[in-house]
Amino acid sequence: MRKGEVPGPNLRTVKRGTIRRSTLLDLGLLVRHRRGMWSDIAQFSKADLDAADRAYRHWATTQMKSNRFAGFIVDVDGQPVASGCVWIMQVQPRPNWKGTEAAYLLSMYTEPAHRGRGHGARIVREAIRYAKGRGINVMLLHASPFGEPIYQRLGFERTKEMRLFLDRRKRRRRTPASRKTPRRAR
Ligand SMILES: CC(C)(COP(=O)(O)OP(=O)(O)OC[C@H]1O[C@@H](n2cnc3c(N)ncnc32)[C@H](O)[C@@H]1OP(=O)(O)O)[C@@H](O)C(=O)NCCC(=O)NCCS
């Protein structure tokens, strides 16, 4: 069983719970769930996570107040067990893309004891409904190994996005010999 996985639920006793939009009062939960997500998918120091929590709380508050951020929370027996968020971001015009806004899905997290019960997929479907309702035609995300099967099943496709941190020293990667083109003789 991989890190973050929990024993499969007994489907006869699984409670579906209810899904709702978050408010500013839920920020503590959204920050806690986002931290849980980072802890499950990567290795960061406590200091890095603490700093990221503060930055995220500030950023999400601003985005929520300007109506560019929506959180979705699943409650089971009145307790929040899963959440995920959508950020409405600006994108450049492209052929066959309508408009210059995209919905970015982020901070997907289900508490370990509640995984594999459909809460994650339900949040994604709700997020898609929300984005469509705002007239947005594309949803983007960065998938973790846990999330990828959900997104694939809902029709997301892989892209070829790349990144370069501009404040870090470049590590030169050797090109495999087989991919090198022969140098021209001087
Ligand atoms: C990704 C995540 C949010 C999914 O939440 P979830 O509520 O378990 O989602 P679902 O119940 O819709 O499960 C979807 C998939 O989880 C996997 N799964 C099934 N049982 C599981 C279990 N007991 N434990 C963990 N994952 C399980 C399966 O791939 C399942 O697909 P299936 O419908 O074919 O069984 C959750 O695993 C999580 O919080 N992971 C850690 C943080 C993370 O990776 N976030 C996503 C960032 S993109």
In a domain, 176, yes or no: no
From the list 26, 27, 48, the residue with the least C-alpha distance to 38 is: 48
**Which pLDDT does position 180 carry in this prediction?**
55
In the reported structure, the alpha carbon of residue 115 is separated from the centroid of ligand 1 by a whole-number distance in angstroms of 5
In a domain, 24, yes or no: yes
Which residue's CA lies nearest to atom 23 of ligand 1?
8
Spatial distance between the Cα atoms of 61 and 28, rounded to a whole number of angstroms: 11
Q: Does the predicted TM-score (pTM) go above 0.85?
A: yes
**Which pLDDT does position 2 carry in this prediction?**
53
- Which of 2, 13, 146 to mutate for ligand 1's pocket (most ligand atoms within 8 Å of CB)? 146
- Across the chain, which has 186 residues, the per-10-residue mean pLDDT values are 54 80 98 98 98 98 98 98 98 94 98 97 98 97 97 97 90 60 54
In a domain, 183, yes or no: no
How many distinct structural domains can be found in the chain?
A: 1
Cα pseudo-dihedral 153, 154, 156, 158, rounded to 10: -10
In the reported structure, the alpha carbon of residue 175 is separated from the centroid of ligand 1 by a whole-number distance in angstroms of 36
In a domain, 33, yes or no: yes
What CATH number is associated with residue 128?
A: 3.40.630.30
Which residue's CA lies nearest to atom 4 of ligand 1?
120
Which residue's CA lies nearest to atom 28 of ligand 1?
116
In the reported structure, the alpha carbon of residue 114 is separated from the centroid of ligand 1 by a whole-number distance in angstroms of 9
In a domain, 142, yes or no: yes
In a domain, 71, yes or no: yes
In a domain, 14, yes or no: no
Q: Residue 131's domain spans which residues?
A: 20-157
